[in-house]
Structure 1
Amino acid sequence: MRVDLHQTENHLVAKLSGRMSFSDHGQFRKVLDGIRADGIKTCVLDVATLEAIDSSGLGMLMLAIEDARKGGWSLTVANAAGPVKQLLQLSRLDKMLKVA
């Protein structure tokens, strides 16, 4: 997975592309750690060019949901389409986080 970060004062957009899988856990964790360290208040995960998410990727999204709750910041998944959108719906993650 490739992650492109665009940050303003307290807002972060993380554009995810490729495939989100177990091998991306460390990189995704660094993004979450950066949110906490930088005092980000809103984070948007733009998944427009994300092709697929495996079960580990779903687990990473669950970590992000929990981090957002504990840290008091908002998390939105934007531009979900195709198999990614279907998996978010099937796993019911679309009910646990904001999907735009």
Structure 2
Amino acid sequence: MRITYAETGGTFEAKLSERLSFADHPAFRKLLDDVAAAAPTRCVFDLSELVSIDSAGLGMFIIAIEAAKTGGWSLSLVGATGHVKQLLQLSRMDRLVTVDVS
């Protein structure tokens, strides 16, 4: 997984690219630490360049949801396509977090 991010006016936007799998857990935890350190009001994970995700990747989104609740910021998942979009829909992730897969 590759991660690029930017902070703008209280919004932390992270673009996740390539694949999100169990092996990416340490990098994902660091991303969440960086979000917490920035203390945003809103965090957006842009998934438009993420081509694959496994069950551990879905679990990492659950960890991010809990971090958002604890940190007092909102979380949105946006731009998912293909396989990633299908898994987000099948897992009903939209019941836990804002998901925009338009």
Q: Same fold (TM over 0.5)?
A: yes
Taking the aligned partners of 2:47 and 2:63, their CA distance within structure 1 comes to 17
5+ long unaligned stretches in structure 1:
none
Taking the aligned partners of 2:86 and 2:79, their CA distance within structure 1 comes to 12
Match of 1:77 in 2: 77
SS of residue in 1 equivalent to 2:50: strand
Q: Which amino acid aligns with 2:76?
A: T
Match of 1:24 in 2: 24
Match of 1:50 in 2: 50
Taking the aligned partners of 1:52 and 1:28, their CA distance within structure 2 comes to 15
CA contact (8 A) 2:39 2:71 kept: no
SS of residue in 1 equivalent to 2:13: strand
The alignment's TM-score, normalised by the length of structure 2, stands at 0.93
The alignment's TM-score, normalised by the length of structure 1, stands at 0.94
Taking the aligned partners of 2:62 and 2:25, their CA distance within structure 1 comes to 12
Q: Which amino acid aligns with 1:30?
A: K
5+ long unaligned stretches in structure 2:
none
**Percent identity among equivalent residues?**
51
Q: Provide runs of 4+ in structure 1 moved above 4 Å.
A: none
Match of 2:15 in 1: 15
What is the CA-CA distance between 1:9 and the residue it aligns to?
A: 4.2
